[in-house]
Each structure stands twice: as structure tokens, then as C-alpha cells.
Amino acid sequence: NAGVTQTPKFRILKIGQSMTLQCTQDMNHNYMYWYRQDPGMGLKLIYYSVGAGITDKGEVPNGYNVSRSTTEDFPLRLELAAPSQTSVYFCASSPQKPGSPLHFGNGTRLTVT
């Protein structure tokens, strides 16, 4: 029972490089999310999706892009990495039911230098 799987676990990028953080879930959840967690801070929502082909901005979307071509996958793209994007990124999914808890992956720790 894999749940939510994120790859890679760690990555170091140089300023201006690009990369894609991968996220896949095997629970057939319609809703998927990307959060980032900065040191000493809570999780802030970057983007979310309520189903394949539908995405929307969260609280901190600048510098990121997402796509949702299948129910299972929700990749997060960084086009021009900046030091401010150094963070731990968490992907999550939930069923389409109000109040349902989110199921999180184990995160990707990204450092931009």
C-alpha cells in the first residue's frame, strides 16, 4: 500500500536551473495538493487540483507550475530556481468528501544555491 509517493527525496539546484518534483498516488483520490514547509513555519499551499485536467493556485504559486493529466500524478515544476524556493515540498491527496484528511508523501527537500 504505497499511498502518496514523492521523488526525489533530496535535490540541490543552482540558481536558474529547472526541475520537476514528481508525485503519484494509488488511492484513486480526486484531490491533490502541493505544500511547502519553510523552517519554523507551517505548510503553505502552492497549487491544488480537484481532478484530472483541473488545477488552481494556492497561497504561494509564484515560481511554480503544475499539471494534472491523470488522476494518479500531480507533478510540480520549478522553471527558474531561486534561493527563496529552498524548502521541503509535500504532496498530498484526499478523497472528494468535505473534512476528509489529507494523506501526505514524505517530502522532497530542495536546496537552491
Partner 1 sequence: DQQVKQNSPSLSVQEGRISILNCDYTNSMFDYFLWYKKYPAEGPTFLISISSIKDKNEDGRFTVFLNKSAKHLSLHIVPSQPGDSAVYFCAASDQGAQKLVFGQGTRLTINP
Site for partner 1 contains 41 (CB under 8 A): yes
Q: Which of 23, 31, 87, 110 binds partner 1 (CB under 8 A)?
A: 31
* The binder of partner 1 chosen from 21, 23, 33, 74 (CB under 8 A): 33
Residue 32 is placed in which grid cell? 491533490
Cα–Cα dist 48/111, whole Å: 23
Residues 97 and 76: their CA atoms lie apart, in Å, by: 24
Residues in Cβ contact with 63 at an 8 Å cutoff, skipping those fewer than 6 apart: 78, 79, 80, 82, 84, 85
- Tell me: does residue 46 bind partner 1 (CB under 8 A): no
What distances in angstroms separate CA 28 from CA 47, 51, 64, 80, one per listed residue?
19, 10, 25, 32
Q: Does 74 help bind partner 1 (rule: CB under 8 A)?
A: no
Look-up of cell digits 527558474: 80
Should residue 63 be labelled a site residue for partner 1 when binding is judged by CB under 8 A?
A: no
Residues 87, 94, 110, 112: which binds partner 1 (CB under 8 A)? Answer: 94
Rounded to a whole number of angstroms, the minimum distance from the CB of residue 71 to partner 1 is 15
What does the binding site for partner 1 look like in residue numbers (CB under 8 A)? 4, 31, 33, 35, 40-45, 48, 50, 58, 90, 92, 94, 96, 98-107
